[in-house]
Amino acid sequence: MTLCGAIFDAPANRQRLIEFEANSSAPDFWQDQDKAKKLLQKRKKAEDAVQAEEKLVHLLGDLEAYFHLAHDESNASERDALVTELTRELDAADKYIGELETSTLLAGETDRLNAILTVKPGAGGVDSQDWAEMLLRMYLRWAERRGFRTSVLDSTPGEEAGLKSATVLLEGENAYGLLAGENGVHRLVRISPFDQAARRHTSFASISVIPEIDDQIEIVIKPEDLRIDTFRAGGHGGQNVNKVESAVRFTHLATGIVVQCQNERSQHKNREIAMKILRSRLYEHELEKRQAKTDKLDEQKLDISFGSQIRSYVLQPYQMIKDLRTKFEVGDVNRVLDGDIDGFIRAYLLSRRVTSPR
């Protein structure tokens, strides 16, 4: 187990935990709340590293035990049962190691933050609006699999089907870091359910992911740069229309950025959520100015149509989902559309590590 110790440096992290415990027990620990929060974050990382090594040691012990039992078992049926259990344990270990590897790739300043995801249809008419709703469901199912909390902040339904746009907040550890690679245009090929001739159609939708900026990252919004409009919120087919102007739209005059929120019945709550989104988009705007030549920003500038997609989802004439950046592909399209996108996320993070400057 020297390898695990080298990777996670468990002895050093155990010593850090002792020091963190001593510091957090000090009477003046919470006097400087910013310093205290940073210390607690460091303690959490040290705890995770220690727990990861302990779990790997436990997994390896189980695998060795099953291997020796199967090797020494003379009864064929008993041996087959042990081999089956060994295979199950190997799969579990492989999955856990993959998750650990993914977590080591998330070291950016904003990777740990919650994510604000926006989906918009592109070329393809009602099919694209339906595709946008399918993508939104995929990400909500992915978040559910991970135990993330989700809140739909704003949603505009299409006239016939699907969505004109939707914005959702995903709250969980490393939500933004995991979803950052989903930025870009997603292409769908299928037999259109809206075409009476049952012809194959190609649809496009864009995904934009930004971090929900917390108090540790300072964003200054001047009151004179902000125009606030209120309006009545509504839902599908005119249903659930509020009789009061609870929906809020913020326009940042200096940048032209517009955000709105109509999910809550309270205008105060909608204002609070809209301000969070605005702070996050202003942070993203500043990054765009500093890093205008990065691949991510190039992808976001592309039209939501042919030739600009990052991933293709082909349902007919064959079934295959392929990421055009990493070449990672999956044939079980239903599994992916039901939220199993971790393979694509991991492949992107690995490719980003390989291509990033040292």
* pLDDT tens for each residue of the chain, 358 residues long: 334 444 556 778 788 888 878 888 888 878 777 777 778 777 877 787 788 888 888 888 888 888 888 888 888 888 888 888 888 888 888 878 877 777 778 877 788 889 999 999 997 789 999 999 999 999 999 999 999 999 998 899 988 899 999 999 999 989 999 999 999 999 999 999 988 888 999 999 999 999 987 666 667 788 888 898 888 776 544 444 555 678 889 999 988 899 988 888 888 888 888 888 888 888 888 777 765 644 444 444 455 555 578 999 999 999 999 999 999 999 999 999 999 999 999 999 988 876 554 4
- For helices 342-355 and 76-104, angle between their N-to-C axes, nearest 10 degrees: 50
pLDDT at 306: 57
Instruction: Report the candidate in 264, 270, 216 with the shortest Cα–Cα distance to residue 248.
Output: 270
Q: Are 252 and 226 in contact (CB under 8 A)?
A: yes
The span from the CA of 334 to the CA of 311, in Å, is: 15
Cis peptide before 121 (omega within 30 of 0): no
How far apart CA 206 and CA 119 sit, in angstroms, is 6
pLDDT of 303 reads: 58
- pLDDT at position 344 is 96
pLDDT score of 191:
94
**Cα–Cα separations (whole angstroms), residue 5 to 11, 19, 22, 49:** 8, 20, 24, 10
Considering the entire predicted model, what is its pTM? 0.67
Sort residue 162 into left (φ over 0), alpha (ψ -120 to 50) or beta. left
**Cα end-to-end span (Å), the chain:** 29
What is the H or E stretch that residue 18 is in? helix 10-24
Q: Where are the beta strands (DSSP E) in the chain?
A: 115-121, 149-157, 163-171, 184-191, 200-211, 226-231, 247-252, 257-261, 309-314, 320-323, 329-330
Q: Which domains does the chain have, with CATH numbers?
A: 2-104 (1.20.58.410), 115-217+294-355 (3.30.70.1660), 224-290 (3.30.160.20)
Instruction: Note the pLDDT of residue 171.
Output: 94
Torsion over CA: 211, 213, 217, 219 (sign)? positive
Q: What is the pLDDT of residue 45?
A: 75
- By 3-state DSSP, what share of the chain in percent is helix, strand and coil, each rounded to 5? 50, 20, 30
